[in-house]
Chain A
């Protein structure tokens, strides 16, 4: 895994994990956890640790950064369709969190 790939993946995982921790309901938190699980599964569980420093407080900002980081993974050999599925799962979790 190249450093750029690792940085994008860490960014995506850390922000999704932060969304899971700040979710308003258990169901929404679980949905974010499943997004995190999908990301790890895409990489055969060979991923770097979370980086919890400097995360924004605003949940909308967390979602935007996570989405951008996940989209960046397409450039590192990850199948674009699977990335779209992860993004759809992330949107689903966000909707669940908003209700």
Chain B
């Protein structure tokens, strides 16, 4: 997930930015009270190791700009009046930063860290923090290909990502200046241009309020079926519902979809009664869900479509019903399990909404036609029905889209993680951090 990898990157850079006397931290001189514990050669090797880790962070920044740049629009550019036209002007600051990053990565003599270097803990805390930075950057490369690139973000999310990349670039530039006294240290090529580019991007991104919901996007580990014997009580319902959500990845035909819908109506109804004494709000929500599925079930009676499968989803739905209805009124209701079940309900509702919208759009699901429409001249001896099914676009009887919009799709947009803003604020504070002197004054 982007929020986790980028958050880790920011946290470790924040730690590094708070460390000022770098020579002391790698065993070098600087004060008469602390003995020198490393040779110049040792410190040179430490510097090379740090540069390899830094290279990983630079590559992360570059890949981030490559992923976001094609669809990015500067907040300074006025949007075209025709909404079907893309903005004609590219994001100048972002492209400048991207070019400089590409140059810096290319001209650096440091290679990317090996897998051993990424996974072996380092003895010195400073180098260990750099290792964590490199690990987060290496993991974060997944996110740009998973769901952050290729125009999948809206403009506010794009600017949030650009702002994050700018902050990391600025942190790397500040650290680069601080590490110049390490023996054999190689400075970032065009560091000044990088710093100005990052500042321009950060200012551009700050013109709009950020959208931290982008933290929930990116690579996720694939979910797996929970196999094995049924868990006791409510956990068993949770297990079956989880498996049902996974099985619904397969596009179902209408008959199987109707059975899944029926199972959700029954599960919502029985669980709403069960949780009424302890969680009245949840009970009300699930009762409304039962009504939604009742209406959907009635609408689907007049929908046909043999394309698709969904047999395994039906089996899991049936298991969910049997476990939910077998729960006794005095069953233990763990609030975490109830919350998990509510999340799974939302995910399944979304998936069913996607399935119906896809089916209607591709005419995989079609509307049934009433009986008295005979083909007067079908060329056959016996007059049959003229049409038995028509596309939804030609039918005015069913309106599933309204039901999907108003009931099945959760109305609220995905919320940002609670510490999303704090993580960014901490990095920005660390970039301008100054150590305090002995008289508690800030050194300049």
Q: Does B138 have its Cβ within 8 Å of any Cβ on chain A?
A: no
| CA–CA, A40 and B298, complex, Å | 14
Complex interface bits, B252-287 against A, C-beta within 8 A gives 1, otherwise 0: 011100110010011001100000000000000000
Q: Does A17 have its Cβ within 8 Å of any Cβ on chain B?
A: yes
Q: Are B385 and A36 in contact (CB under 8 A)?
A: no
Nearest CB of A to B63, in Å? 48
Q: Does B374 have its Cβ within 8 Å of any Cβ on chain A?
A: yes
Q: Does B388 have its Cβ within 8 Å of any Cβ on chain A?
A: yes
- CB contacts (< 8 Å) of B383 on chain A: these are 3
Stretch in contact with the other chain, from A43-51, A59-67, A86-94: A43-51
Interface residues of B, count at CB 8 A: 31
Complex interface bits, B367-388 against A, C-beta within 8 A gives 1, otherwise 0: 1111100100000001111001
Q: Are A50 and B301 in contact (CB under 8 A)?
A: yes
Give the contacting residue for A49; candidates B253, B266, B370; CB below 8 A: B370
Q: Are B290 and A6 in contact (CB under 8 A)?
A: no
- CB contacts (< 8 Å) of A7 on chain B: these are 371
| CA–CA, A71 and B153, complex, Å | 57
Q: Are B258 and A27 in contact (CB under 8 A)?
A: no
| CA–CA, A1 and B385, complex, Å | 7
- CB contacts (< 8 Å) of A41 on chain B: these are 255
Nearest CB of B to A22, in Å? 12
Q: Are A46 and B371 in contact (CB under 8 A)?
A: no
- CB contacts (< 8 Å) of A55 on chain B: these are none
Q: Are B384 and A48 in contact (CB under 8 A)?
A: no
Nearest CB of B to A9, in Å? 9
Answer whether A26 and B371 are a contact pair too, CB < 8 Å, given A17-B301, A33-B297.
no
- CB contacts (< 8 Å) of B269 on chain A: these are 26
Q: Does B37 have its Cβ within 8 Å of any Cβ on chain A?
A: no
Q: Does B391 have its Cβ within 8 Å of any Cβ on chain A?
A: no
Residue of A nearest to B389 (CB): A46
Answer whether A45 and B255 are a contact pair too, CB < 8 Å, given A2-B382, A27-B266, A33-B262.
yes
Give the contacting residue for A36; candidates B270, B301, B374, B384; CB below 8 A: B301
Q: Does B327 have its Cβ within 8 Å of any Cβ on chain A?
A: no
Answer whether A26 and B259 are a contact pair too, CB < 8 Å, given A2-B384, A10-B371, A48-B368.
no
Complex interface bits, A1-38 against B, C-beta within 8 A gives 1, otherwise 0: 11100110010010001000100001101100110110
| CA–CA, A3 and B369, complex, Å | 13
Answer whether A3 and B385 are a contact pair too, CB < 8 Å, given A37-B259, A46-B304, A49-B302.
yes
Q: Does B305 have its Cβ within 8 Å of any Cβ on chain A?
A: yes
Mark out the residues of chain B between 293 and 310 whose CB falls within 8 Å of any chain A CB in the assembled complex.
294, 297-298, 301-302, 304-306
- A-B interface, 5 closest residue pairs, ranked by CB to CB distance from nearest: A49-B368, A26-B269, A49-B302, A48-B371, A49-B370
Binding site for A on B (CB under 8 A): 253-255, 258-259, 262, 265-266, 269-270, 290, 294, 297-298, 301-302, 304-306, 367-371, 374, 382-385, 388, 397
Q: Could you show 22 A-B contacts with beta carbons less than 8 Å apart?
A: A1-B385, A2-B384, A3-B384, A6-B371, A6-B385, A7-B371, A26-B266, A27-B266, A30-B262, A30-B265, A30-B266, A37-B255, A37-B258, A37-B259, A37-B262, A45-B304, A48-B388, A49-B302, A49-B368, A49-B397, A50-B302, A51-B371
